[in-house]
Amino acid sequence: MDQSKPDALETLQLLDDEQEWGAFSRVSVSQPGCWESNVLIEGMHCAACALSIEDALKTVPGVLHAEVSAGSHRAKVVWSSERVVPSGWMQAVQRAGYRAVPANDVFARERRQAQSRMALWRMMVAGLCMMQVMMYAYPAYTAGPGDLSIEMEQLLRWASWVLSLPVLFFSCGPFFKNAWRDVLHRSVSMDLPVALGMLITFAVSTAGTFEPKGMFGAEVYFDSFTMFVFFLLFGRWLELRLRDKTAGALEALMNRLPDSVSRLKDDGGYERVPVRRLRVGDVIRVLPGESFAADGVVLQGNTSADESLLTGESRPVSRGIGDEVISGSHNLSGLVQIRVNKVGEETRFAQIVALMESASTSKPTLARMADTIAKPFLIGVLIAAGLSCAYWWQIDPEKALMVAVSVLVVTCPCALSLATPAAMLSAAGALAKRGVLVRRLEAFESLAAIDTVMFDKTGTLTRDAMVLAQIKVRQGIVEQHALSMAAALAQYSLHPVSKAIESAFNLAEQHEKWVINQVSEVPGQGIWGYISLPESAAPRISLRLGSADFCGVSEFKSEALQVHLSDENGWLASFEFQEDIRIDAAETVAALQREGVCVYLLSGDASDAANRVAASVGISEVRGHCSPQEKLDFLRNAQVQGRKVAVVGDGLNDGPVLAGAHASFAFGQAVPLAQAQADFLVSSSRLTNVVDALMLSRRTLAVVRQNLWWAAIYNAVCVPLAVLGLLPAWLAGLGMAGSSLLVVLNAFRLSNSTEFERNT
């Protein structure tokens, strides 16, 4: 034995160092003094496995909560750092016969690929042997009386037995290993009845081969044995491939960070350091093709970045000096130097990953119900197989065992358990590609039932930016002339109104260039300075841009959002602004109304501003001057009346109403993602994503119902047929593999959707 190679326990104990916890855990927000870890579970195949792992984790002192998803093969564990260390609860998973590894383990993907290759080899061996065995079994099925001699029949049986050995000892390995694990731990999973069926079939056929005149000598079932092993392996291999594609959005997102970065040293050179050693204020160099390892600001260089997986924006965005970049996005074209502003859990990337991890381990209500009956269902399968065997033994002992095999193999709770999580994980992946992150999978159930949508105004139906609506000037002044002077001052301010003036000036056809001197800004009031035209003998002009009081023109005060421009002679111009309504706001409202959804606008702004926006987007039900409490009261009254309400807000002051809604959307990139109360977080700029989520939710629930009905009908039809002896073992294996595969394939259609329809 190689003493230099660490054993499994030593490897786990490396994770007990608190400095390593941040790589796969985060401090729990809801449980002070506790950590929340997200891990991958290797070796599980069904809902019964998930329940066994949950039970093993919950027995560990210090583990407060454990949730394992049969759909994503991920677990969320909340544990107290004062009572247990990671290796403690990970060993509990190992003792249960499985393996827990950090979700960001760099070798997890390699191990999964190796397992996939081995599964392919097992399936190919079973398939090759199956074809040969069926060739040898064909004469026995087609030969008439006296056509096949006893010696030839016995030779074909021996050949089939020899070809079945690789299937038994190699292809069936995972089933027997997992079944033995169940026996040792006094638990049950889907592999236990399957392994029993395989052993019984091979044993009966072997007895018939060695003793042709004995009790089981009338017929052998090597063709059925190899056939249903092949079907099961093929179904499991394909299901593995489909599940990897379904969860691909999460894995692609988590693997976006590089392992190390080039950090600027004091002497001007660069050193390669791990990403975890980055600190706020560090300067790093990012080459074309690399990912940004932290949130930061560009100091040198110009490039374009791919932020599609983080914001939903499919087109590359330009990034130059002074622009912000986000960790996890890709540098596409140029070498840039970045000053780090946020690292670790503070980055938007880490917050988004945390949300997607939470969604991948959450269990919808329907899935919990299905998982609850998984173990009792399997125990019932074993009892049914035993009773069927006992009944048929009195009639035909050989057939009795094969009836038991059919019952063991055909019954499959996997389809029932996968029906809900497979569909919802696929839908969550599809929304993630469009910039919508799902915090709770059960939110799909709530959103599909909504009949009312309540919009906030600022930052939701409108952008944070303002647009120039009207210019008023004193007699003798040209509007464009006044705009150019105002823009000359506005360029020195970061106020949203100043940015709106600059944008309006840049869109104008004629541009006057002014020379600026002695600019000064008074926070909350305005900006003043001296301007003059270049190469002009005219004296410079003293200008003020800002509020009416600041500009000395109080008589021009108005309820509308205005800024004023004045010179030494007094009032020069007034600029009236309005909120920039999102370009797809009217389309979104119209689409919701076509689906029979009532749309309301509740805003804390003045009623005239709220009415103007509502009229622009087609909303007839509008209320202004609403406080957060008044919004919550409106929501509760609607719910008392039996309405299912979804709330769409910017997440900044709508926390109570977002938390109280049946389904909720937090809109905008300024939302603190880790603390948002919303079910869906829209990080892209498309308001139509609300409609997309609604359509996909309804379609997802339709797929879930299809899957549940299929699983129920399959078991209701096939189990009685197997008990009555009308279902051969090979067909039982095909039915079991096909039922789970059909559920996963049906769910996979959601992740491939390019357009979301109301109904399937």
pLDDT-derived band at 760, boundaries 50, 70, 90: very low
Task: For residue 266, give the CATH number of its domain.
Answer: 2.70.150.10
Question: How many angstroms separate the CA atoms of 539 and 542, rounded?
Answer: 10
Are residues 267 and 192 both part of a single domain? no
Report angle CA 664, 667, 671 to the nearest 5 degrees: 105
Are residues 402 and 365 both part of a single domain? yes
Task: Residue 141: give the domain boundaries.
Answer: 111-248+359-422+704-751
Residue 115 has pLDDT above 70, yes or no: yes
Answer positive or negative: Cα dihedral of 708, 713, 718, 719: positive
- Residue 187: phi and psi, rounded to 5, are -125, 180
Q: What is the mean pLDDT of the chain?
A: 79
Are residues 391 and 276 both part of a single domain? no
Top-confidence residue, 23 or 657 = 657
pLDDT-derived band at 757, boundaries 50, 70, 90: very low
CA atoms within 13 A on the CB side of 541: 23
pLDDT-derived band at 717, boundaries 50, 70, 90: confident
105, 126, 151: which is the final residue of a domain? Answer: 105
Are residues 230 and 308 both part of a single domain? no
679 is catalytic: no
Top-confidence residue, 411 or 304 = 304
Amino acid code (one letter) for 67:
E
19 domain residue, yes or no:
yes
Q: What is the pLDDT of residues 55-79, one digit of tens each?
A: 888 888 988 888 887 767 788 888 8
Residue 752 has pLDDT above 80, yes or no: no
83 domain residue, yes or no:
yes
Q: Summarize the confidence of residues 251-279 as an average pLDDT.
A: 79
Predicted confidence at residue 122, as pLDDT, reads: 92
Least confident piece of the model among 86-90, 106-110, 127-131, 352-356:
106-110
Are residues 131 and 231 both part of a single domain? yes
Task: For residue 45, give the CATH number of its domain.
Answer: 3.30.70.100
49, 78, 105: which is the final residue of a domain? Answer: 105
Q: Is 622 helix (H, G, I), strand (E, B) or coil?
A: strand
Are residues 100 and 126 both part of a single domain? no
Q: Summarize the confidence of residues 26-51 as an average pLDDT.
A: 78
Q: Summarize the confidence of residues 337-366 as an average pLDDT.
A: 72
610 domain residue, yes or no:
no
Phi-psi region of 573 (alpha: psi -120 to 50; beta: other; left: phi over 0): beta
Q: What is the pLDDT of residues 410-462, one digit of tens each?
A: 776 666 666 777 788 788 878 877 878 787 778 888 899 899 999 887 777 88
pLDDT over 70 percentage in the chain: 82
Are residues 70 and 215 both part of a single domain? no
Closest to 132 (Cα-Cα) out of 230, 236, 238: 230
Are residues 48 and 30 both part of a single domain? yes
pLDDT-derived band at 758, boundaries 50, 70, 90: very low
Predicted confidence at residue 591, as pLDDT, reads: 92
Are residues 86 and 161 both part of a single domain? no
Domain count, the chain: 4
Predicted confidence at residue 412, as pLDDT, reads: 63
Predicted confidence at residue 558, as pLDDT, reads: 67
Question: How many angstroms separate the CA atoms of 377 and 48, rounded?
Answer: 10
Q: What is the pLDDT of residues 130-174, one digit of tens each?
A: 899 888 888 877 766 767 778 888 888 899 999 999 999 999 988
Paired residues of 596 in beta bridges = none
Residue 604 and residue 626 in contact, taking contact as beta carbons nearer than 8 Å: yes
pLDDT-derived band at 103, boundaries 50, 70, 90: low
Are residues 378 and 232 both part of a single domain? yes
599 domain residue, yes or no:
no
149 domain residue, yes or no:
yes
Residue 313 has pLDDT above 60, yes or no: no
38, 71, 105: which is the final residue of a domain? Answer: 105
455 domain residue, yes or no:
no
Are residues 20 and 97 both part of a single domain? yes
pLDDT-derived band at 369, boundaries 50, 70, 90: low
Q: Catalytic one among 456, 654, 679, 692? A: 456
pLDDT-derived band at 675, boundaries 50, 70, 90: very low
603 domain residue, yes or no:
no
Residue 13 and residue 380 in contact, taking contact as beta carbons nearer than 8 Å: no
pLDDT-derived band at 308, boundaries 50, 70, 90: low
756 domain residue, yes or no:
no
Are residues 94 and 120 both part of a single domain? no
